């Protein structure tokens, strides 16, 4: 089943979607946490589904995404091209709705979250809290433009939790060998940010002009070559994981 409904701008993921699955590989530790939060559900709606990361293996999943490029890479058979703010499903139609690193892309966050509550009895949302400290060193030292972009589009987790009437908010510290290549994944592997393929799989990098990104990456490359970065961040190399503000919000039941 492949349906078009409520088309909305999806230029960012139409751009970065090609090859996205090569870099954004689901991390088993985050997968386990999301699976535990979903519990024993039979029907699941995955909003902003992308390539199907973190979906439960033993449930009937319907993927929703506004980007056809992303839907084309999704392995499932139930796919709907739509935005979160207008879900073409009846009230209480599904056991659960999941939204993994997507709510910051929604034009109307509160309307989208209300739709999750309308169509599903349980809601599981993974997002980032812009009020959390510390921030990733990349933002502080090389690309404050990413900070400006992220703070403009991410909503504080307390507001997301309130909108969902959530009963649980669980921190997820990012492991040093995290396999899903979103922005904070390489906090202990700075050389990875030098790879344009890795940067292309991140929506923040993809939306910044080369005139901003390339000089910053050149400074990072020089700091790595001179070992300046390693001297500045020696304490990170002993850490197995870092809490950079990623949270799993669980509501309903």
pLDDT in tens, 11-48: 454 444 445 556 678 999 999 999 999 999 999 999 99
At residue 36, the pLDDT reads 97
Residue 71: which of 154, 153, 10 has the closest Cα? 10
Residue 10 has pLDDT above 50, yes or no: no
Peptide bond just before 134 cis, omega within 30 deg: yes
Domain edges within the chain: 2-252
At residue 171, the pLDDT reads 98
Domain 2-252 superfamily per CATH:
Vaccinia Virus protein VP39 (3.40.50.150)
Q: What is the mean pLDDT of residues 68-90?
A: 92
Lowest mean pLDDT among 61-70, 110-119, 218-227, 231-240: 61-70
At residue 21, the pLDDT reads 55
Contacts 24+ apart (CB under 8 A), 202-206: 202/16, 203/12, 203/13, 203/16, 203/105, 204/146, 204/149, 204/150, 205/146, 206/12, 206/15, 206/16
pLDDT in tens, 126-178: 999 999 999 999 999 999 999 999 999 999 999 999 999 999 999 999 999 99
CB-based contact 204:150 (threshold 8 Å): yes
pLDDT in tens, 182-214: 889 999 999 999 999 888 878 788 889 999 999
Q: What is the pTM of this model?
A: 0.88
- What is the H or E stretch that residue 196 is in? helix 196-200
């Amino acid at each position: 089943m492949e349906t078009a409904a409520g088309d909305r701008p999806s230029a960012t993921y139409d751009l970065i979607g090609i090859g996205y699955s090569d870099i954004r590989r689901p991390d088993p530790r985050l997968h386990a946490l999301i699976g535990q939060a979903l519990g024993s559900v039979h029907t699941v709606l995955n909003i902003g589904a992308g390539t199907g990361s973190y979906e439960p293996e033993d449930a009937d999943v319907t993927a929703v995404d506004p980007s056809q490029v992303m839907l084309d890479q999704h392995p499932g058979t139930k796919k709907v091209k739509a935005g979160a703010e207008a879900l073409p499903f009846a009230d209480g139609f599904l056991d659960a709705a999941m939204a993994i690193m997507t709510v910051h892309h929604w034009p109307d966050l509160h309307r989208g979250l209300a739709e999750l509550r309308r169509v599903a009895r349980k809601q599981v949302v993974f997002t980032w809290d812009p009020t959390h400290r510390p921030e990733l060193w990349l933002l502080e030292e090389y690309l404050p433009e990413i900070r400006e972009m992220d703070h403009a589009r991410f909503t504080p987790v307390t507001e997301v939790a309130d909108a969902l009437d959530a009963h649980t908010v669980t921190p997820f510290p990012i492991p040093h060998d995290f396999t899903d290549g979103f922005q904070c994944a390489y906090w202990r592997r700075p050389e990875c940010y030098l790879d344009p393929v890795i940067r292309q799989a991140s929506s923040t990098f993809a939306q910044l002009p080369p005139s901003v990104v390339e000089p910053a990456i050149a400074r990072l490359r020089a700091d790595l070559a001179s070992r300046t970065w390693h001297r500045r961040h020696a304490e990170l190399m002993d850490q197995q994981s870092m809490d950079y503000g990623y949270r799993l919000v669980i509501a309903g039941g």
